[in-house]
Chain A
């Protein structure tokens, strides 16, 4: 069972509010990710981190920001929420890549949190 936790699970807020979605993992993984998922659609990578003090933007443009001050913690912040930010946000971490016949899978096993469902009114 994965040891990765997200809070809050559900959040309903008004436009213009600042929110922070928390994500913590106790597996000691260096790589962590934030994905956005809308109903019936594929997951889109919005942020990732290789380790402490490393943060990168993903494929999908996002007005959110992230920080990685500690290995286990990867919070996502929206300074001013808008209705267009309404979505499911999934945090994930991956274990070290494993070699197979001399080739390295760059991303090991991916473990997801339960998600944070954000609704902005």
Chain B
């Protein structure tokens, strides 16, 4: 069964600190992995998208890594800011269907305290 598991479920850090969020998946055949940021009451916004040949991609203070062999990804946030408080969702796409089915994780709820 294709699944996407994220950990931790929630995380609280102090402003200025770094943190790393984890994503493990069993989706096969793998096409790409995406990280989204979703502010409370808003729609998700794309942070990064990586194919199997990419093992790291950055977007400002966000750096995503991908290990396609172990089927793991992480999202590292550097020098956190209050505005980083949000849910971070890992999404994996397969390439076995015309639609390019997307499998969503439940997200990690990050809270940044001043």
Interface residues of A (CB under 8 A from B): 2, 6, 40-45, 48, 90, 92, 97, 100-101, 103-107, 109-115, 117
Chain B residues within an 8 Å CB radius of A40: 106-107, 109
Residue of A nearest to B39 (CB): A114
Alpha-carbon separation in the docked complex, A44 to B99 (Å)? 15
| Inter-subunit contact B51/A107 (CB<8 Å) | no
Interface 0/1 of B81-110, CB less than 8 Å to A = 000000001010101011111101111010
User: Looking at the complex, which one of B43, B44, B98, B107 makes contact with A106 (CB distance below 8 Å)?
Assistant: B98
> How close is A30's CB to chain B, nearest CB, in angstroms?
12
Interface size on B, residues (CB 8 A): 28
Q: Is the CB of A112 within 8 A of B44?
A: yes
CA distance A101 to B95 in the complex (A): 14
B residues touching A (Cβ–Cβ < 8 Å)?
4, 31-32, 34, 41-46, 49, 51, 53, 89, 91, 93, 95, 97-102, 104-107, 109
Q: Say whether A106 contacts B49, CB under 8 Å.
A: no
Q: Contact between A105 and B100 (Cβ–Cβ < 8 Å)?
A: yes
Does the CB pair B98–A105 fall under 8 Å?
A: no
Rounded to whole Å, the gap between the CB of A8 and the closest CB of chain B is 13
Q: Which residues of B contact A41 (CB under 8 A)?
A: 106
CB distance A107 to B106 under 8 Å?
A: no
- List the B residue with the shortest CB-CB distance to A59: B101
**Chain B residues near A112 (CB-CB < 8 A):** 43-45
Chain B contacts of A6 at CB under 8 A? 43
Q: Which residues of B are found within 8 Å of A44, using beta-carbon distances?
A: 104
Give me 13 A-to-B residue pairs in the complex whose CB atoms sit less than 8 angstroms apart, sorted by A's number: A2-B45, A41-B106, A42-B89, A42-B105, A44-B104, A90-B43, A103-B95, A104-B95, A106-B31, A106-B93, A114-B43, A115-B41, A115-B42
